[in-house]
Amino acid sequence: DDTLGSAAAAKGRYFGTAVAANHLGESAYTGTLDREFTAVTPENEMKWDATEPTRNTFTFSAADQIAGHAQSKGMKLRGHTLVWHSQLPSWVSGLGASDLRTAMNNHITQVMQHYKGKIYAWDVVNEAFQDGTSGARRSSPFQDKLGNGFIEEAFRTARAVDPDAKLCYNDYNTDGINAKSNAVYTMVKDFKSRGVPIDCVGFQSHFNSASPVPSDYQANLQRFADLGVDVQITELDIEGSGTAQADNYANVVKACLAVTRCTGITVWGITDKYSWRASGTPLLFDSNYAAKPAYTAVLTTLGGT
């Protein structure tokens, strides 16, 4: 087990990465992807602005490139994301409530239909809660015009389209036990008690010195798992370098391995060269695709050599 993917598989888990379609032609990028990873998440290509830039005109070419690559290599595909306030075309934010509801359900239906049978898990709703201590919903066109019920409606619509895809709620700053994760926890508990379809919760896990790996990370994953959902680490990256960064990565992997229902880990990119943190070095491979100490720490923590 000398790759991330094979070591994770020996532990019954996938090891994924975010992928950008425009880098797939770069041999070092795709070579590293194919060697190390067993799951992919399109970094931007399945978002609303990419898939439905104008109303009811769907464009899947970039996302299809990633999906086709994943399928040809036997990798799992995480769908990211159907309902999110960001990367949302302005035509959506301009709609009135009734039109917005129709558009949201149509978007979910058309995109999920296109990928039906090919998606392991969908981030149905992304980042619907506020940061800070209020535990309140974040203001967005969906929240402001449709009210609290929009999340439930999105999940019900999603289940009807592709009953075989796992349906996830995904967020950041919910990695430890805090007011924001408490609010998500309360929602998931309510969904489970009322039979609203939800299968998994994604913990983005973007960490840096201001937002380090929480000491109660594992406990937080476990309390969600205990509600009867899978948990996944969906967008992992950790600022820093050397041993400190490696130790933080090892702690994340340990937490997932300790939680039976933690089904996999996805890092938010392959190489530091293309990280969304433009000036940072948060990933497992440096800008020349050399494995960093963080890579070795992840591999050995997974039981690989």
Give the residue with the Cβ less far from ligand G3I, 162 or 235: 235
Give the residue with the Cβ less far from ligand G3I, 283 or 302: 283
User: d(Cα 107, Cα 141) in Å, to the nearest integer?
Assistant: 15
| Annotation says 52 is catalytic | no
| Helix boundaries (H) for the chain | 4-10, 27-36, 48-51, 61-72, 90-93, 97-114, 141-146, 149-161, 179-194, 217-225, 242-258, 293-301
Catalytic residue from among 36, 45, 235, 239: 235
Does 139 sit near ligand G3I (CB under 6 A)? no
Which of 36, 43, 52, 230: binder of ligand G3I (CB under 6 A)?
Answer: 43
CB 217 within 8 A of CB 177: no
Does 65 sit near ligand G3I (CB under 6 A)? no
Nearest to 127 by CA among 52, 188, 199, 180: 180
Which class for 57: exposed (0-12), middle (13-18), buried (19 or more C-beta within 10 A)?
exposed
- As given in the structure block, the two tokens for residue 166 are 């796992």
Give the residue with the Cβ less far from ligand G3I, 268 or 299: 268
Does 276 sit near ligand G3I (CB under 6 A)? yes
Question: What minimum distance in Å lies between the beta carbon of 266 and ligand G3I?
Answer: 11
Which of 59, 61, 86, 287: binder of ligand G3I (CB under 6 A)?
Answer: 86
User: d(Cα 122, Cα 165) in Å, to the nearest integer?
Assistant: 7
Nearest to 82 by CA among 47, 130, 34: 47
Nearest to 201 by CA among 244, 155, 247, 250: 155
| Cβ count within 10 A of residue 87 | 12
Which of positions 202-221 make contact with ligand G3I (CB under 6 A)? 204
Question: What minimum distance in Å lies between the beta carbon of 172 and ligand G3I?
Answer: 6
Nearest to 238 by CA among 265, 263, 262, 201: 265
Range 59-68 burial, b when 16+ CB lie within 10 A, else e:
ebebbbbbbe
Question: What minimum distance in Å lies between the beta carbon of 123 and ligand G3I?
Answer: 8
Give the residue with the Cβ less far from ligand G3I, 162 or 237: 237
Residue facing ligand G3I at closest CB distance: 276
Does 175 sit near ligand G3I (CB under 6 A)? no
Question: What minimum distance in Å lies between the beta carbon of 238 and ligand G3I?
Answer: 13
Q: Count residues contacting ligand G3I (CB under 6 A)?
A: 8
Give the residue with the Cβ less far from ligand G3I, 7 or 236: 236
Residues making up the chain, counted from first to last: 305
Give the residue with the Cβ less far from ligand G3I, 264 or 304: 264
Which of 44, 106, 211, 222: binder of ligand G3I (CB under 6 A)?
Answer: 44
Nearest to 156 by CA among 127, 119, 124: 124
Does 235 sit near ligand G3I (CB under 6 A)? yes
Which of 61, 87, 139, 186: binder of ligand G3I (CB under 6 A)?
Answer: 87
Active site members? 235
* Residues that bind ligand G3I in the complex, under the rule CB under 6 A: 43-44, 86-87, 172, 204, 235, 276
